[in-house]
């Protein structure tokens, strides 16, 4: 980096002020979901019969008739136009690793030379972008061009405000003329339906009345922010996403004093605007903090349906990249932009919940007595061992393979960390039956004015590739720059096969005259013994 460029960068940093880019926003503008055609808006704008038909489609997969689709499209268009929208787009996630969109105007010319805003159910449900230039994984010939986008009613539309324009964004799947998936949403939704079927099958064995199970997730996004002058003076960062040459800084992360440190004003202003924009489009971001490496940070949401969370995660990355230049910075999502310090990952917190609101990976107060939890947990353990190659492939990339195994990143070999409590329970199961559960009790700090803290039954492992963290599994090897669709698909498919196996074994045992308790007591030690090498 030349001395002139360095001097300009330092001057820009010194002279930068939060007030230069920060604009005031009213409470109404920053209201959560104010730019989303969400359940509240649907209920207020749709005829009651149409609203209930849409809810049945979302919750039970029932088909919508044309009249209902037309009513939804009309209400959606009127809501969008009231907010200043002139165009709509079918937003999809092709195999490029980023999102894609083609904007169409609401305006339709009339015979008298004027124009009216129109949007039909047919236009809502189906779009037809040219699919010839999108990757297909070799599934189709290069001359085959037709592709369809299909509205996903389970992920609510939102309004994109960018460049002085407002666009209605409709999440869609993307398939070829012959039905092959050309995107990441289609296989994700298929995998979620397959898992639901097998999970409900297991739940029925335990007497549950649940009819549907969804996978839920909350991805923790790590990223770097560097001054834009520095970024633009480094061709390697611009073209490769990471530095390829140069000297190490005088101070790296030796003291790790950046971690959870005070957030700089300019970074705080950036974070605040990103959060404000994400709140308006319904992304439930919850946490922000400094990460370990210098200039590294994290943003994390609360749990959502895995399909919606995948859409939202793409929106998070796009919003951060779009916002950073307004604060004189560049947002780096590469997994290892700088040598010698921590890289960036995307911890994927994953679980399963039924339609009655129960987290199927919640152990309860006495996990050793919770047969249903132990069956689901064992199924996940078996899935990760049996399909570890698939899980490893789902997070493999040049950038992530450069990150894994160094500077606090998870190792490249997949394994499970269960924690002291669950490890002890499974060891008891292997030896003939679990009789007790370890409890953490209370932690006394030795200071009278401080409260006694409830202590967990075991410590956390922050570098395990796949760790149980209380009521979910955390897939920590996921890379910072990728869509979480592939890891979700891989987990869903692996666990689906495992639940199918567990349900089949239990059904066979019960049909043979064994009680449920006896069937579970015989199955769990067998499965754990066959798969404990992954622990």
- pLDDT per residue over 442-452, tens digit each? 777 788 787 87
Average pLDDT over residues 494-508: 97
Q: How confident is the model at residue 369 (pLDDT cuts 50, 70, 90)?
A: confident
Average pLDDT over residues 480-493: 96
Average pLDDT over residues 295-313: 95
Which range among 17-31, 154-168, 481-495 shows the weakest confidence by mean pLDDT?
A: 17-31
Specify whether the CB–CB gap between 408 and 460 falls below 8 A. no
Listed in sequence order, the residues at least 6 apart from 219 whose beta carbon sits closer than 8 Å to its beta carbon are 300, 301, 309, 313, 346, 347, 348, 349, 478, 484
Within 10 Å of residue 452's Cβ, how many Cβ atoms?
10
Average pLDDT over residues 450-478: 84
pLDDT of residue 484: 96
pTM, 2 dp: 0.92
Question: Given 3.60.20.30, 2.60.40.10, 3.40.50.300, 3.30.590.10, which CATH number is that of 221-245+255-298+309-334?
Answer: 3.30.590.10
pLDDT of residue 381: 96
pLDDT of residue 360: 96
pLDDT digits (tens, 9 = 90+) for 155-171: 999 999 988 899 999 99
Listed in sequence order, the residues at least 6 apart from 322 whose beta carbon sits closer than 8 Å to its beta carbon are 162
Kindly list the domain boundaries of the chain, sorted by start residue: 39-182, 183-220+345-534, 221-245+255-298+309-334
pLDDT of residue 406: 78
Q: Report CA dihedral (193, 196, 198, 203) to the nearest 10 degrees.
A: -170
Specify whether the CB–CB gap between 177 and 146 falls below 8 A. yes
Is the confidence at residue 109, as pLDDT, over 80?
no
402/317 Cα distance (integer angstroms): 21
Phi, psi of 188 (to 5 degrees): -65, -45
pLDDT of residue 114: 66
Which range among 15-24, 124-133, 201-210 shows the weakest confidence by mean pLDDT?
A: 15-24
Is the confidence at residue 1, as pLDDT, over 60?
no
Is the confidence at residue 368, as pLDDT, over 50?
yes
Is the confidence at residue 429, as pLDDT, over 50?
yes
pLDDT of residue 28: 44
Q: What is the 3-state secondary structure (H, E, C) of 452-474?
A: CEECCCCCCCCCCCEEECCCCEE
494/492 Cα distance (integer angstroms): 6
Cα distances (Å, whole numbers) of residue 71 to 39, 53, 68, 79, 235: 15, 11, 5, 12, 52
Domain 39-182 belongs in CATH node 3.10.20.70 = yes
Specify whether the CB–CB gap between 267 and 225 falls below 8 A. yes
Q: Is residue 323 packed enough to be buried (19+ CB in 10 Å), middle (13-18) or exposed (0-12)?
A: buried
Average pLDDT over residues 474-501: 96
Q: How confident is the model at residue 2 (pLDDT cuts 50, 70, 90)?
A: low
Is the confidence at residue 510, as pLDDT, over 70?
yes
């Amino acid at each position: 980096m030349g001395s002139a460029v360095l001097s300009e960068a330092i001057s820009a940093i010194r002279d930068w002020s939060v007030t230069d880019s920060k604009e005031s926003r009213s409470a109404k503008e920053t209201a959560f979901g104010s730019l989303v055609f969400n359940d509240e808006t649907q209920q207020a704008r749709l005829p009651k019969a149409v609203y209930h038909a849409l809810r049945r489609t979302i919750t039970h997969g029932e088909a919508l008739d044309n009249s209902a689709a037309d009513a939804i499209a009309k209400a959606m268009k009127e809501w969008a136009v009231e907010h200043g929208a002139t165009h709509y787009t079918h937003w999809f996630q092709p195999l490029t690793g980023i999102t894609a969109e083609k904007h169409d105007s609401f305006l339709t010319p009339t015979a008298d030379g004027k124009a009216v805003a129109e949007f039909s159910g047919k236009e809502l449900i189906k779009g037809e972008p040219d699919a010839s230039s999108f990757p297909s994984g070799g599934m189709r010939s290069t001359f085959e061009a037709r592709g369809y986008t299909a509205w996903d009613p389970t992920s609510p539309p939102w309004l994109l405000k960018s460049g002085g324009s407002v666009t209605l964004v409709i999440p869609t799947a993307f398939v070829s003329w012959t039905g092959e998936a050309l995107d990441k949403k289609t296989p994700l939704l298929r995998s979620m339906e397959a898992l639901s079927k097998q999970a409900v099958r297991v739940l029925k064995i335990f007497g549950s009345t649940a009819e549907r199970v969804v996978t839920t997730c909350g991805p923790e996004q790590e990223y770097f922010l560097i001054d834009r002058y520095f970024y633009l003076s480094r061709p390697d960062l611009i073209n490769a996403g990471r530095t390829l040459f140069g000297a190490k800084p005088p101070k790296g992360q030796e003291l790790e004093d950046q971690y959870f440190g005070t957030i700089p004003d300019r970074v705080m202003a950036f974070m605040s605007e990103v959060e404000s924009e994400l709140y308006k489009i319904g992304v439930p971001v919850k946490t922000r903090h400094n990460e370990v490496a210098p200039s590294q940070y994290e943003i994390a949401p609360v749990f959502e349906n895995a399909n919606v969370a995948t859409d939202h995660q793409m929106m998070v990355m796009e919003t951060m990249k779009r916002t950073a230049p307004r604060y004189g910075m560049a947002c780096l999502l590469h997994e290892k932009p700088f040598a010698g310090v921590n890289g960036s990952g995307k911890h994927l917190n994953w679980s399963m919940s039924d339609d009655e609101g129960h987290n199927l990976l919640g152990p309860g107060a006495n996990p050793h007595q919770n047969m249903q939890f132990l069956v689901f947990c064992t199924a996940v353990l078996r899935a990760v061992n049996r399909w570890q190659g698939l899980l490893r492939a789902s997070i493999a990339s040049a950038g992530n393979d450069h990150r894994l195994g160094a500077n606090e990143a998870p190792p490249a070999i997949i394994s499970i960390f269960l924690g002291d409590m669950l490890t002890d329970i499974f060891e008891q199961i292997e030896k003939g039956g679990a009789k007790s559960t370890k409890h953490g009790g209370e932690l006394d700090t030795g200071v009278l004015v401080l409260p006694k803290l409830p202590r967990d039954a075991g410590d956390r492992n922050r570098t395990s590739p796949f760790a149980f963290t209380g009521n979910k599994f955390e897939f920590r090897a996921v890379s910072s720059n990728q869509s979480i669709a592939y890891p979700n698909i891989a987990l869903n498919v692996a666990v689906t096969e495992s639940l199918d196996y567990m349900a089949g074994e239990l059904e066979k045992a019960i049909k043979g005259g064994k009680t449920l308790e006896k069937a579970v007591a015989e199955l769990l030690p067998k499965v754990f013994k066959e798969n404990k090498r992954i622990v």
